[in-house]
Amino acid sequence: MTMSKETLIENIRKVPDFPIPGILFYDVTTLFKDPKSLHILSDTMYDMYKEKGITKVIGIESRGFIMGPILATRLNAGFIPIRKPGKLPAETIEESYDKEYGKDTVQIHKDAVDENDIVLIHDDLLATGGTMKAACELVKKLKPKKIYVNFIIELKELNGKALFDEDLEIESVLSL
């Protein structure tokens, strides 16, 4: 493991019993507030995607709204938000998915992506994969050329990658 990844791991705040008892929550906001960690994250993610021809970075509400625009700027790409219902002002399409305690829905503007786009969908954490799977299905409806998926952290023991098609390139900065 590189020194920079060690720095990131050291700077992640671990919050026991959040949001419910028995869960160890990995809080990436401590990476964002530390200038060195933020630079490491930005540089690492840029290096992962600088040769992929990304035209749009799509961030999932809400932590995907932090590194998503930073990465979009570095890649000279646009930034697109995926949000919860009722938050986007223009015409949207949506995808619903099952969560531990019911259903949830995500939306994107209908004109956010087209068939000429190569997109990178970003979120902070891959746990069980439900939110990102819904985001991928949503973006597929807009028929981009290619979709890449990125996380800051993948929790390997939860096997979230198993939810996705094998041909989808999923990368994480850190696997814990």
Domain tally for the chain? Answer: 1
Q: Is residue 163 part of a domain?
A: yes
More confident of the two residues 166 and 135: 135
Q: Amino acid letter at 156?
A: K
Other Cβ atoms closer than 10 A to 33:
11
Q: Is residue 90 part of a domain?
A: yes
Residues labelled catalytic? 63, 100
List, for residues 25-79, the tens digit of each pLDDT value.
Answer: 999 999 999 999 999 999 999 999 999 999 999 999 999 999 999 999 999 999 9
Q: Is residue 43 part of a domain?
A: no
What pLDDT shows up at residue 101? Answer: 74
Average pLDDT over the chain reads 95
Q: How far are the Cα atoms of 69, 91, 131, 147 from residue 113, in angstroms, in the given order?
A: 16, 13, 19, 11
Check which CATH number belongs to the domain holding 159 and give it: 3.40.50.2020
Asked whether 133 and 149 are in contact (CB, 8 A), the reply is no
Which pLDDT band, with edges at 50, 70 and 90, does 102 fall under?
confident
What pLDDT shows up at residue 100? Answer: 72
What pLDDT shows up at residue 133? Answer: 97
